[in-house]
Amino acid sequence: MTNPQWIEACEVDDVEEEDVIRFDHEDRTFAIYRTDKGEFFASDGYCTHEKFHLSNGLVMGSTIECPKHNGRFDIKTGAAKRTPVCVDLRTYPVKIENDKVFIQI
């Protein structure tokens, strides 16, 4: 198993407040969130219910809603909050350095 590493995902300004963008790295895909309070979070990109990318979804406070079936997750913890989502989303640590967003994977 490889050690966790910090990967540069995007610039801070690439994500609007209360929004989400997609970040692809090697063969994996992630969702990078910015809440209405300006905090950044990261999770796996695909919804745990069906393979739909969360970057097309709606961020409401610290909740992300999947664009296909309206299942919801807590952005901060990845906890499933509304069916048809039943399985929690994997989240990743995030840090900001020099106006860049890094995620630890």
Partner 1 sequence: MAAQPKKRDYSIIGPESKRAQDRGLASADWYASPIPRKEMKELMKRRNGPAIRDTIIWFGGLVILGYLAYLSWGTWWAIPAFLAYGILYATPGDSRWHECGHGTAFKTPWMNEVMYQIASFMVLRSATPWRWSHARHHTDTIIVGRDPEIITERPPIWKVLLLQIFHLYGGPIEIKRFVLHAFGRMEAQEKEYIPQSQFKKVFWEARAYMLIILGVVAACFWAGTVMPAMFIFLPSFYGAFVVITFGITQHLGLYEDVLDHRLNSRTIYMNPLFRFLYWNMNYHTEHHMFPMVPYHALPKLHAAMKDDCPAARPSLWAALKEVFHALRQQKHDPAYVVVKPLPATARPYMDGIAHELDFEKWMQKQA
Give the nearest distance from C-beta 9 to partner 1 in angstroms.
17
Give the nearest distance from C-beta 40 to partner 1 in angstroms.
18
- The interface region with partner 1, picked from 24-32, 40-48, 53-61, 96-104 by CB under 8 A, is 53-61
- The interface region with partner 1, picked from 23-31, 37-45, 47-55, 90-98 by CB under 8 A, is 47-55
Q: Does 58 bind partner 1 (CB under 8 A)?
A: yes
Q: Which amino acid is at 85?
A: V
Q: Does 84 bind partner 1 (CB under 8 A)?
A: yes
| Contact in structure between 74 and 61 (CB atoms under 8 Å) | no
The C-alpha atoms of residue 12 and residue 34 are separated, in whole angstroms, by 9
Instruction: Please tell me whether residue 13 adopts helix, strand or coil conformation.
Output: helix
Question: What string of DSSP letters covers 8-40?
Answer: EEEEGGGS-TTEEEEEEETTEEEEEEE-TTS-E
Residues 22-41 that bind partner 1 (CB under 8 A): none
**Of the candidate residues 7, 62, 69, 79, the single one contacting partner 1 (CB under 8 A):** 69
Instruction: Supply φ then ψ for residue 12, to 5 degrees.
Output: -55, -45
Q: Does 70 bind partner 1 (CB under 8 A)?
A: yes
